[in-house]
């Protein structure tokens, strides 16, 4: 059943003209590197977005590796509930998105609800395995009701 959902998701994206390109290695079909395309996909599929804003490599801050997040089967399964976008803030697109997210300290992790209206989770704190699992589990449905009612409106 899960495989057919993934096939349906990819089919919907292709019908909508959204392609997942310009990504590297085996992660190429699992996340976006363009916020706008990810946002559209999340709208079509009505899934929450996991946004990772990574710092410039030479900044001295360690970027978040999607491979590290995927280390456990449980987290890999939870990640399937999200549209994932990993942004490099050294690019013009990444810089623009970073400004839209309030130029918060990097790396930055944000979860946007399934309607793409509210940031239901946000942090710039270092995250580790069990904390990633808790975050992904808590926000997997992308519903604002699961979270603090003071969730920040998402201007994007």
CATH number for position 114:
3.40.30.10
Q: Are 102 and 122 a contacting pair, CB within 8 Å?
A: no
Q: How many domains does the chain have?
A: 1
Q: Are strands 83-88 and 108-112 parallel, antiparallel or unpaired?
A: unpaired
Mean model confidence pLDDT for the chain = 83
pLDDT of residue 2: 47
Phi and psi torsions of 54, nearest 5°: -100, 145
pLDDT of residue 30: 79
pLDDT of residue 156: 56
pLDDT of residue 25: 36
Domain of 48 in residue numbering reads as 2-153
**How many angstroms separate the CA atoms of 45 and 56, rounded?**
31
pLDDT of residue 28: 42
- Which segments of the chain have a pLDDT < 50? 1-2, 4-6, 15, 19-28, 147, 150
**How many angstroms separate the CA atoms of 76 and 78, rounded?**
5
């Amino acid at each position: 059943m899960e495989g057919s959902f993934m096939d349906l998701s990819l089919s919907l994206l292709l019908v909508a003209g959204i392609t997942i390109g310009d990504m590297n290695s085996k992660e190429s079909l699992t996340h976006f590197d363009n916020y706008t395309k990810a946002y559209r996909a999340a709208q079509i599929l009505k899934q929450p977005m996991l946004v990772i804003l990574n710092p410039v490599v030479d900044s001295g801050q360690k970027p978040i590796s999607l491979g590290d997040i995927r280390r456990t089967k449980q987290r890999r399964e939870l990640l399937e509930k999200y549209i994932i976008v990993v942004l490099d803030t050294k690019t013009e697109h990444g810089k623009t998105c970073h400004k839209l997210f309030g130029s918060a300290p990097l790396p930055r992790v944000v979860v946007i609800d399934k309607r793409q209206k509210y940031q239901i989770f946000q942090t710039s704190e270092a995250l580790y395995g069990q904390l990633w699992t808790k975050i992904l589990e808590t926000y997997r449905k992308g519903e604002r009701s699961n979270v603090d009612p003071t969730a920040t409106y998402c201007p994007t």
